[in-house]
Amino acid sequence: MAQILAPSTQWQMRVPKSSTFGSPIATKMWSSLLLKQNMKGAAKSAGKFRVLALHSENSTVNRTEKLLNMDITPYTDKIIAEYIWIGGTGIDMRSKSRTISKPVEHPSELPKWNYDGSSTGQAPGEDSEVILYPQAIFKDPFRGGNNILVICDAYTPAGEPIPTNKRHKAAEIFSNKKVVDEVPWFGIEQEYTLLQQNVKWPLGWPVGGYPGPQGPYYCGAGADKSFGRDISDAHYKACLYAGINISGTNGEVMPGQWEYQVGPSVGIEAGDHIWCSRYILERITEQAGVVLSLDPKPIEGDWNGAGCHTNYSTKSMREEGGFEVIKKAILNLSLRHKEHISAYGEGNERRLTGKHETASIDTFSWGVANRGCSIRVGRDTEKNGKGYLEDRRPASNMDPYVVTGLLAETTILYEPTLEAEALAAQKVALKV
Amino acid sequence: MSLINDFIKFNLNETTRKSIAEYLWIGGAGMDLRSKARTLPEPVTDPAKLPLWNFDGSSTDQAPGDDSEVILRPQAIFRDPFRGGSNILVMCDTYTPAGDPIPTNKRFSADKIFNHPDVAAEEPWFGIEQEYTLLQKDTKWPLGWPVGGFPGPQGPYYCGVGADKSFGRDIVDAHYKACLYAGINISGINGEVMPAQWEFQVGPATGISAGDQLWVARYILERITEIAGVVLSFDPKPIPGDWNGAGAHTNYSTKPMRNDGGIDVIRKAIEKLGLRHEQHIAAYGEGNDRRLTGRHETADINSFSWGVANRGASIRVGRDTEKAGKGYFEDRRPASNMDPYVVTSMIAETTILWKP
């Protein structure tokens, strides 16, 4: 499948060669993070910035940083490949690294590997090997140089995808000729919440209490309105460096909650890019000493949940007359509401209440510019008669392989009966 | 402070041909690494060209006070990741002034085994998976664990990522690059099942080089944890209870095992190892009885077993090896504090030289 190769020349030219050891993007980001965190008054109590093991008492200068940022390319052709996969809960990411004898361009050049599935709930102890198939390569923003991150999926030794491998089925859907011809684009808006370590209370919130009600925080700036911007900004650049198609970021309605968007990506890439961006985000929060939560409703009550709105279009939707195709797609989606909802993330019922800019989980609805609907169509799309739709149902902990595959399957491959169509058209007030 | 920084980063090559050699050796406890540095008139890349040296054995429990000199013989050279430039780390072994290996010198007899023509002909390869635990200084409680308490149970930590699942990654990553720079054949790293426990792998390395590389990798790791203010532990069962221990699984193959029909050679080798289980166990690390319980992905210390893809056996054969009919096998018995010279040479001796 298509690979996203980082524009390597571009970035290598911008890395200054002033020090004896080259420094990837990571170093500079960390020193600025350190400074900013010290200056943030309100956030001081919340999650002290701590790059583990960078400060020591018995040595006067710190040399771990030098080693971490060392550019090994002058000394060896070898590169380090961090193989990344999804663990047994379907949302936990795992990774380990290995040395590869020289730089690679394509995942097919990388060897398959294996890991101990009995330690991730994916295999029994007496037959524990699970095989990793490299599927997508990204540049490693933490190690720099020619080192890479590799998104993999998991198989039994016999070559069957294991039950938690959702990529395999999605890849099949995206290889179907009808789907390929429609060139499905996805733009995914990943929301997430940052929590203070140990107490697991949102970053910036007073421990034992609550901040002022929602209102000032959406896209807000200021020490009393924006908590954790450095993580969001560091993540943005790290993803761009890695070659991930990150298109934007913003502070969310609930304080301590953020969003970034990845897209437009074609087909299976959407899933690969989201998973890699989630991995990079968790590595960054690990360094910052802050806990990442993808829970769809982290705080009960009058606080927004976290979703993963998925914007979607096909070639037909983007061309003249596309609006009719969009309406037909919405019709199909209305007929499979339950199947989609059950695959759109654990715990979504706590989030899709009908309040806080969500639609109720039990009813399917759509509307133009309506954020209280299951599917929202933008005013631009309505005006131009072509464009895309936004599925607002997926939760922040959804699996993008599942969601993107389902959207493509339901809108391109699924054919409802004429009676079902007619009934649905009435129900959702759609003339198709 | 920045002045000290400048001096440490100083590139000597600009002003002098001299280079610094850090001589490393194993001390009297068998597990403690020692080192001291000397100036060389010019860069050296061949251990045979380095001078012999000596140290005060009475300070490391390796000689009596009235006859304290122990001779250091350079055996392997690696680039120094801390000093950079043309400076080197030198792995040495230890001798009496008369030229005999002192009792704690395990390299000497390992070298004899690896030089035996029958062993050399088989080209024995080793891949060693070194596990270790990071502890907070002063409390000696694992890094990231709440002092006075415990983290959530094992599950999320193996290869995990995130501030609540991964403790000490900077040390591991710094170590990876430092070893690659030094010229050590480090093949990978991963976070382990117990939080604050990590693993790196060295190999494939032929014969005696496996031991040299693993010892120098251990030295580099201890230097890095020193910088980080964190304590390194090679104890095989640092925390009793429902927490994994730390091992040094040793993967092994010979030329016949890697060629067609190798699977039969592997089976015969495993049978021989089964017949010498007790001798091997006695040499596989102090305190291993606390680790090899039969639980937590170990086999019980008293019984010998083997299986394909079975992590609860003494010896594990990978599915790839079974399928291809050739390959290697993994001895899962050695503890994290094993001496690689002892373990590698013993496996070679039992499987190649020993006749039951």
CB B114 within 8 A of CB B348: yes
The residues, any chain, with a CB within 8 Å of residue A310's CB and separated by 6 or more, are A186, A187, A188, A189, A390, A391, A394, A400, A403, A404, A407
pLDDT tens by residue, B32-66:
999 999 999 989 999 999 999 999 998 888 988 88
Mean of all residue pLDDT scores within chain B: 93
| Contact at CB, A143 and B177, closer than 8 angstroms | yes
Predicted confidence at residue B2, as pLDDT, reads: 67
Predicted confidence at residue A338, as pLDDT, reads: 95
Q: What is the mean pLDDT of residues B116-141?
A: 96
**Distance (Å, whole) CA A425 – CA A295:** 34
pLDDT tens by residue, B91-110:
999 999 999 999 999 999 99
Q: Hey, is the C-beta of B297 within 8 angstroms of any chain A C-beta? A: yes
pLDDT tens by residue, A142-181:
999 999 999 999 999 999 999 999 999 999 999 999 999 9
Judge whether residue A12 has pLDDT over 80: no
| Contact at CB, A56 and B310, closer than 8 angstroms | no
Task: Say yes or no: domain A175-430 is CATH 3.30.590.10.
Answer: yes
**Distance (Å, whole) CA A150 – CA A85:** 9
Q: Hey, is the C-beta of B268 within 8 angstroms of any chain A C-beta? A: no
Q: Closest Cα of chain B to A322: distance in Å?
A: 43
Q: Which residue has the higher pLDDT, B10 or B195?
A: B195
Q: Hey, is the C-beta of B88 within 8 angstroms of any chain A C-beta? A: no
Query: What values do phi and psi take at A382, rounded to 5?
Result: -60, -45
**Distance (Å, whole) CA A290 – CA A33:** 13
Judge whether residue A47 has pLDDT over 70: no
Would you say how long chain A is, in residues?
432
Predicted confidence at residue A63, as pLDDT, reads: 73
In which band, very low, low, confident or very high, does the pLDDT at A29 lie, cut at 50, 70 and 90?
very low
pLDDT tens by residue, A280-303:
999 999 999 999 999 999 999 999
| Contact at CB, A80 and B176, closer than 8 angstroms | yes
CB A193 within 8 A of CB A304: no
Going by C-alpha positions, the residue among B353, B340, B348 that lies closest to residue B107 is B340
Judge whether residue A381 has pLDDT over 60: yes
Judge whether residue A432 has pLDDT over 70: no
DSSP string, A274-312: HHHHHHHHHHHHHHHTEEEE--S-SS-SSS---BEEEEE
CB B198 within 8 A of CB B190: yes
Q: Centre a 10 Å sphere on the Cβ of residue B243 and count the other Cβ atoms it contains.
A: 19
| Contact at CB, B9 and A20, closer than 8 angstroms | yes
CB A118 within 8 A of CB A88: no
Predicted confidence at residue A66, as pLDDT, reads: 85
**Model confidence pTM above 0.90:** no
The CATH superfamily holding the domain A67-164 is: Glutamine synthetase, N-terminal domain (3.10.20.70)
CB A185 within 8 A of CB A388: yes
Q: What is the mean pLDDT of residues A120-134?
A: 90
pLDDT tens by residue, A344-372:
999 999 999 988 888 889 999 999 988 88
Give me the residues paired with residue B134 across strands.
Answer: B232
| Contact at CB, B319 and A129, closer than 8 angstroms | yes
Q: Hey, is the C-beta of A158 within 8 angstroms of any chain B C-beta? A: no
Domain locations along chain A: 67-164, 175-430
pLDDT tens by residue, A71-96:
999 999 999 999 999 999 999 999 99
Nearest chain A residue (CA) to B8:
A61
Predicted confidence at residue A62, as pLDDT, reads: 66
With beta carbons under 8 A apart, name residues in chain B contacting A128.
309-311
Judge whether residue A54 has pLDDT over 60: no
Give me the residues paired with residue B126 across strands.
Answer: B205, B252
Given A57, A68, A288, which is nearest B173 (Cβ)? Answer: A68
Q: Supply the ipTM of this predicted assembly.
A: 0.77
Give me the residues paired with residue A259 across strands.
Answer: A191, A250
